[in-house]
Amino acid sequence: MMISRNNTSEVRFDPLHDRLQVHCSRSFDSAGFRSSLLEALTFAKAHYVKHWLLDLREIGELSEEDETWVYAQLFPEMMMTLGEENYLAVLIPEPCYQHLLKESGAEGLTSYNSFIIIHNFYEPEKAHAWLNRRSPHAA
């Protein structure tokens, strides 16, 4: 189900997996990106969605300003409104993934606190599988 779309990104909700999916396009701009994430957060609050897939493969990596905004604005709001155990799978280009793996090791692919658990991937199947294992409906 489409939640929002602009020239930078689109936000979809997958009701089968209770998951928000944010896909960023090559025509990336900070204002559109931030707007999309805020719309996703509004939807997540209204429907208590705790699983997110953020696809950054077409843009590479975020600028320092956008990354700071995510950590200083979006994540605190997520923590305050959605509580603990929010899962965020981030799809990045394979060269970025390999660089991160080389620089930080496997532990560097994951960022964890009790509120937001982030894991980086370059393969969509592995990102979806990781989120599926964290599903409250999983056996």
Each residue's pLDDT tens digit, 68-118: 999 999 999 999 999 999 999 999 999 988 888 888 877 767 787 879 999
CA distance 12 to 85: 21
CA distance 87 to 129: 12
Instruction: Name the DSSP letter for residue 137.
Output: T
Domains of the chain: total: 1
Q: Is residue 60 part of a domain?
A: yes
Q: Is residue 139 part of a domain?
A: no
Q: Is residue 62 part of a domain?
A: yes
Q: Domain range for residue 53?
A: 2-133
**Whether the Cβ atoms of residue 62 and residue 70 lie closer than 8 Å to each other:** yes
Q: What is the pTM of this model?
A: 0.88
DSSP conformation letters of 45-111: HHHT--EEEEE-TTT-S--HHHHHHIIIIIHHHHHHHH-S-EEEEEE--HHHHHHHHHHH-GGGGEE
pLDDT tens for each residue of 17-44: 999 999 998 888 899 999 999 999 999 9
Instruction: State percent of the chain over pLDDT 90.
Output: 68
Q: Is residue 138 part of a domain?
A: no
3-state secondary structure of 118: strand
Run of H or E residues at 124: helix 124-133
Q: What is the CATH number of the domain that holds 90?
A: 3.30.750.24
